[in-house]
């Protein structure tokens, strides 16, 4: 744990202004009942630093939904034409996604230079959740509704401002760069932070009770045990194969490479892909290991609750609940997990 400071409400916009010299700054705003990341341009937007995660997953700032990865036959990677991103108000559930994304894109000896570039250059300003919405169940996946790692700075909403915690050298350097904005936090402010954290934690715990969500200590072997179960067919019945669940997921990382060509240029792009789509694993010869929709639903759970725990010792779910709200077919990951755990 780094040192704690206070950033007053009145100084917040000024801080974002300063950040925007070096970064494209994004922060959450509210539109209706949902929160979205918006690019900071002036002080008129009302940031929602606390509350819960925005609708878009954080991964969108690290492996873009659509990006150029090669041009012509050039050894030079395509140019990156924007400042690094500073993402403000990042929640603990999204930060857990880094454990998976980093493993995939960094740590197997075959590095992805685009992701690594973004990880090095982008700035993460985390924030405590100050409430829970119906779909929040992070605690079931062993995380708390406030960041404890993988941030540069973290903001805890307290009356009159934010308690700021440094989480990296990059974050520390920022605090040192703008000393007039960050004062030592008072005892009462630190207490307010802890009280809010306890309150939000209780709200998520209430959710777990209300929706009877099983916790990850019961996940061992649930896929292998239920591999031949009818659960998959039953749960996949309403699926429309839209891929929303995977697009919106902080841990899903799959992508699809495709080519474009005009008179001047040939380019290779990657776009996010979804294992729920029929042709995902199909080979040109026609063989498809997962022809049926329920096999693909099972595969999605297998990747999250069997593959990643085996190769990385982490369940690739963060309890952010996005897939629950994004699914037009009302497939609820909490309910599926409950059924898998119950069918022991």
- Find tokens 């715990």 and name the residue: 205
Cβ distance to other proteins smaller for residue 74 or 81: 74
Scan residues 33-62 and list those touching other proteins (CB under 8 A): none
Instruction: Report the alpha-carbon distance of residue 301 to residue 294 in Å, rounded.
Output: 11
Count of Cβ atoms closer than 10 Å to residue 289 Cβ? 11
Distances (CA, A) of 265 to 13, 68, 78: 42, 12, 12
For residue 328, what are the CA distances in angstroms to 233, 245, 336? 17, 10, 16
Q: Using the rule CB under 8 A, is 116 a contact of other proteins?
A: yes
Site string for other proteins, 216-235 (x = CB under 8 A): -----------x--------
Residues touching other proteins, count (CB under 8 A): 49
With CB under 8 A as the contact rule, the residue among 5, 15, 37, 114 that binds other proteins is 114
Identify residues 128-157 at the interface with other proteins (CB under 8 A).
Answer: none
Structure tokens at 267: 């380019």
Cα–Cα distance, 55 to 49 (Å, whole number): 14
Is 296 a binder of other proteins (CB under 8 A)?
no
Among 48, 104, 124, 153, binds other proteins (CB under 8 A): 104
107 lies in the binding site for other proteins (CB under 8 A): no
Which residue, 55 or 307, is less far from other proteins as judged by CB? 307
Given the complex with other proteins, which of 109 and 179 has the nearer CB atom?
109
Q: CA angle, corner 38, sides to 141 and 246, nearest 5?
A: 40
Do residues 256 and 69 lie in contact, with contact meaning Cβ atoms separated by under 8 Å? no
CB of 21 to other proteins, least distance (A): 22
Check residue 281 for interaction with other proteins (CB under 8 A): yes
Q: Which two tokens stand for residue 180?
A: 């007039």
Question: Of 203 and 277, which CB lies nearer to other proteins in the complex structure?
Answer: 277
Q: Does 288 bind other proteins (CB under 8 A)?
A: yes
The angle, 0 to 180 degrees and rounded to 10, between the axes of the packed helices 113-121 and 92-105 is: 140
The reply to whether 273 sits near other proteins by the rule CB under 8 A is yes
**Spatial distance between the Cα atoms of 98 and 96, rounded to a whole number of angstroms:** 5
Tokens representing 190?
């630190």
Q: Is residue 255 involved in binding other proteins (CB under 8 A)?
A: yes
User: Quick one: 284 or 344, whose CB is closer to other proteins?
Assistant: 284
34 vs 260 by CB, closer to other proteins? 260
268 binds other proteins (CB under 8 A): yes
Residue 311 binds other proteins (CB under 8 A): yes
CA distance 140 to 317: 10
The answer to whether 13 and 183 have CB atoms below 8 angstroms apart is: no
| Tokens of residue 228, six digits | 């031949």
Q: Which residues bind other proteins (CB under 8 A)?
A: 69-70, 72-77, 104-105, 108, 110-114, 116-117, 227, 253-261, 266, 268, 270, 273, 275, 280-291, 303, 307, 310-311
């Amino acid at each position: 744990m780094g040192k704690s400071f206070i950033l007053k409400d009145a100084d917040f916009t000024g801080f974002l202004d300063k950040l925007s010299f070096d970064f494209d700054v994004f922060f959450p705003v509210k539109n209706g009942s949902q929160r979205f990341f918006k690019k900071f341009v002036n002080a008129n937007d009302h940031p929602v630093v606390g509350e819960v995660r925005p609708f878009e997953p954080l991964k969108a700032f690290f492996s873009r939904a659509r990006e150029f990865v090669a041009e012509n036959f050039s050894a030079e990677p395509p140019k990156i034409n924007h400042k690094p991103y500073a993402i403000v108000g990042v929640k603990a559930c999204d930060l857990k996604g880094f454990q998976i994304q980093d493993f995939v894109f960094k740590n197997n000896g075959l590095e992805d230079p685009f992701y690594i570039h973004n990880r090095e250059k982008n700035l993460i300003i985390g924030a405590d959740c100050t409430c829970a919405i119906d779909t929040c169940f992070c605690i079931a996946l062993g995380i708390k509704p406030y960041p404890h790692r993988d941030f540069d700075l973290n903001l805890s909403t307290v009356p009159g401002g934010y308690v700021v915690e440094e989480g990296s050298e990059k974050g520390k350097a920022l605090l040192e760069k703008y000393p007039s904005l960050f004062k030592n936090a008072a005892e009462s402010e630190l207490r307010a932070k802890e009280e809010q954290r306890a309150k939000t934690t209780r709200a998520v715990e209430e959710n777990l009770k209300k929706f009877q969500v099983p916790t990850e200590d019961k996940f061992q072997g649930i896929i292998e045990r239920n591999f031949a179960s009818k659960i998959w067919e039953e749960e996949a019945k309403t699926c429309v194969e839209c891929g929303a669940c995977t697009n919106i997921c902080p841990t899903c990382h799959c992508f699809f490479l495709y080519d474009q060509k005009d008179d001047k240029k040939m380019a290779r792009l990657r776009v996010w892909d979804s294992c729920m789509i029929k042709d995902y694993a199909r080979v040109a010869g026609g063989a498809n290991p997962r022809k049926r929709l329920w096999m693909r639903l099972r595969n999605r759970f297998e990747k999250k609750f069997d593959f990643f725990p085996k190769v990385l010792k982490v369940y690739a779910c963060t309890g952010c609940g996005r897939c629950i709200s994004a699914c037009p077919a009302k497939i609820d990951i909490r309910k599926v997990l409950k059924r898998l755990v119950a069918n022991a």
